């Protein structure tokens, strides 16, 4: 799953963008880009309130459809 700071429960937005767990301020562009943070805790509600549907991860695809023959 791709992690974004905007869907982390430790991110606070208001007068600035602040991460409570790491204790540092970040830019809005950094919070909206994918990352590999070890302190990530999923919160399905978007912090910036731009995505009304919330976080919905992609459904993994099957490698082969049922009944389909393999060429190799």
pLDDT in tens, 24-65: 999 999 999 999 999 999 988 888 888 888 878 788 877 766
pTM of the model: 0.72
The residues with which 48 forms a beta bridge, in sequence order, are none
pLDDT at 68 over 70: no
pLDDT score recorded for residue 55: 79
Stretch among 16-25, 29-38, 63-72 having the lowest mean pLDDT = 63-72
Among 51, 19, 48, 15, smallest CA distance to 35 is for 19
Q: Is the pLDDT of residue 66 over 70?
A: no
């Amino acid at each position: 799953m791709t992690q974004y700071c905007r869907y982390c429960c430790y991110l606070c937005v208001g007068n600035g963008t602040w991460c409570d767990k790491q204790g540092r301020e970040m830019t809005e562009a950094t919070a909206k880009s994918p990352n590999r943070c070890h302190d990530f805790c999923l919160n399905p509600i978007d912090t910036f309130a731009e995505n009304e549907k919330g976080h919905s991860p992609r459904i993994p695809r099957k490698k082969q459809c049922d009944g389909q023959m393999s060429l190799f």
